Structure 1
Amino acid sequence: MVSIKDIAKKAGVSISTVSYALNGSSKVTEETAAKILAIAKELNYVPNAAARTLKKRETKIIGVFLTDYSGAFYGQLLQGMRETLYSKGYELIVISGMRSHRFLPERMIDGAIILDETFKNEELLKYADQGHKIVVLDRELDHPNVIQVLLDNKAGATLAIDYLIEKGHRKLYVVTGPKGSYDSNQRLQAVRQAVEHYQNINYTEIEGDFNKPAGEQAAQLIIQQYTQPTAVFCLNDEMAIGMYNYLLKTDYRVGEHIHIIGFDNIEVSHYTQPRLTTIDYSKRKWGALASEKLLKLIANEPVENDRIYVTLVEGESVGKI
């Protein structure tokens, strides 16, 4: 591999002069710079990104850590991040898996956005103590180098339960997400609190996993226990879609026998028949806001925690009884 030492030798100048020329410094004349750049091109010189990173202590790369890539949730979230970061001269990489955690301590990225339950709080706080800049979307952490941009899960879950009660439903199922999911746990906590405010509620929890198979399995269980019109709050839309898929194979109809409400308003939910009632928020805005906060952290600018607010989108999947 050609180095700046090779360029310096052929140009008859010092290594520092070559470095200045390659970085566009005014410390060398235009004539010398042009000569050095021509030699670099002739020798097919490629800059050593790792060495440059060590010198400048920046990569212009932001990492977003995800638990996994499955489901339809992530597209708009990542698009919001990408647009914001690109406009500021940063690249975005999407990372998953325990081994990828080394990207932070090894300074392969300038900062991190965390939506990954495999990161323990203690690990993130350790990196924050070392000066790494972090935005979390899936937990609450108090540290000067950590900013929270959280979804208003509790408000969304409360909206869902209140809506079902207003429609006259008293037999309720809730299909949860993974046990380690902050969003699922926040939603479930709000559901339990909301149910306590009402009387004569027949309430059952079914453990899910934020994916379609979990919704299908929950639908099968509900049908086995079916005695009357039943309302189901799936803590994400993926599970609600799985429930639709299973019910299509039966004589039970969504909005008549089984009344379903989801959470996330993913694109595919717009095309369900009947239209899925769900909790909506801007995933693009969430990603953009997380990126904006992180860039302010990196620049050592004042920055505060923030929240993404939610609304309820009505569909025909929940009827009045």
Structure 2
Amino acid sequence: MITIKDIAKLAGVSYSTVSKALNDDPAIKPATKQKVLAVAEKHQYRKNMLARQLSTGRSNIIGFVLDELSNPLFSNISGRLHTELKKRGYQMILVVADDGVDVFSQLRVDGCILWDYALDNREMFWKKFATLNMPCFVLGTDEAPNSPYIKIDRKEGLFKAVEHLKSLGHSRIGFIGNSQHVKLEGYREALQRTGLAFNEDHVLPAHSSWEDGYFAIRNHAFGADSPTAFIGLNNLVTRGALRALLEAGYSVPRDISLIGYDDLPDMQYAEVALTTIGPSLDELAVQAAELIVSLIRDEQVDVPVVIQPKLNLRNSTAMCRQ
């Protein structure tokens, strides 16, 4: 493998000049930098991260911990976060669940971001995670952990969804999914805030997958008192519910209106372009990147950061016909 010293010899410059050129030091003349980079590219030079850690004490790597990868929400967030961190000179490593603790310890990452998710033993997890002894924060939490965090105001988002449906004349608004307590609680509170009645039968049991949303609708016995509008727990549940409604012969939104939680690009390309409520993923990524970099640099930060979901109007909601 070619080294910096080899590049210096081939380019006819000093070792320090090569080092500065590879690290984009503005003190290096553009022509010299281009000459060094051309040699490095020709000989397929790759930076030695271990050597960099030993010399600078930094890896310029940030870890991101998720609990699962099947939901497109997480791939969208991960991609945007990677882009924002790269703009700031960092690489990102993605790991699943608490496997990250061992991986991050071995690589000596500079900091880590944890997506908040349901844990069987949250206290034990946090004790293990605390052993990393590095800047960390929780992304997307609804609670107040003993660390910096970014909160998504999911309850306020659901209020905006219910308020929108009520403005269209819907008084029987259902919710598809009962696996996330904060969203179900937000739905109930939103009904109360808008003066609408809560009906237990209007909450369709579903976890978080496409199939859950599909069968929640398929198994619901529609009648005269059924909801005229539904809000889906997440993007997958909503897409599954939409398919089931269309297969059952319902017109969306002429017969039933539908709002999905999570605004992902593919929601606008569904069989019916879906109205959604959810945080801007670009804003989420920018805020997360700025916070972890500030924590690494030991800068003063204002936490918690609260991100407000936005209502994105498309074609799946309309005036209630009943």
- What's the TM-score once normalised by structure 1's chain length? 0.75
Q: Rate the CA distance shift 1:2–1:285 in 2: closer, same or farther, 3 A.
A: closer
Task: Give 1:43-192 correspondences, 5 Å limit.
Answer: 49-50=49-50, 52-53=52-53, 56-117=56-117, 120-124=122-126, 127-128=129-130, 131-139=133-141, 140-143=143-146, 146-176=147-177, 179=179, 184-192=180-188
Cα distance in 2, alignment partners of residues 101 and 211 from structure 1: 27
How far did 1:109 drift?
A: 1.6
* Structure 1 unmatched runs, 5+: 8-18, 25-40
Asked if the contact 2:235/2:267 (under 8 Å) is kept, the reply is yes
Look up the SS of the partner of 2:140 in the other structure: coil
Cα distance in 2, alignment partners of residues 229 and 255 from structure 1: 15
- Aligned Cα RMSD in Å? 3.5
Look up the SS of the partner of 1:62 in the other structure: strand
AA of the residue aligned to 2:184: L
How far did 1:112 drift?
A: 1.0
CA deviation map 1:80-100 (0-9, x unaligned) = 322221122211122114433
CA deviation map 1:94-123 (0-9, x unaligned) = 211443331234453211111152663553
How far did 1:269 drift?
A: 1.6
Q: Rate the CA distance shift 1:260–1:249 in 2: closer, same or farther, 3 A.
A: same
Which residue of 2 is the match for residue 285 of structure 1? 283
Identity fraction in percent: 23
Cα distance in 2, alignment partners of residues 313 and 212 from structure 1: 21
CA deviation map 1:177-231 (0-9, x unaligned) = 6x4xxxx332222111122342545343223222211110111122x24335622
* Structure 2 unmatched runs, 5+: 7-14, 21-39
AA of the residue aligned to 1:124: W
Cα distance in 1, alignment partners of residues 133 and 175 from structure 2: 41
How far did 1:51 drift?
A: 5.9
Cα distance in 1, alignment partners of residues 118 and 17 from structure 2: 45
Look up the SS of the partner of 2:157 in the other structure: helix
AA of the residue aligned to 1:169: H
Q: Rate the CA distance shift 1:299–1:91 in 2: closer, same or farther, 3 A.
A: same
CA deviation map 1:257-279 (0-9, x unaligned) = 33211111211221234432211
Matched length: 288
Asked if the contact 2:263/2:277 (under 8 Å) is kept, the reply is yes
Match of 2:207 among 209, 221, 237: 209
Asked if the contact 1:121/1:141 (under 8 Å) is kept, the reply is no
AA of the residue aligned to 2:191: V
Cα distance in 1, alignment partners of residues 17 and 137 from structure 2: 37
Asked if the contact 2:73/2:262 (under 8 Å) is kept, the reply is yes
AA of the residue aligned to 1:102: D
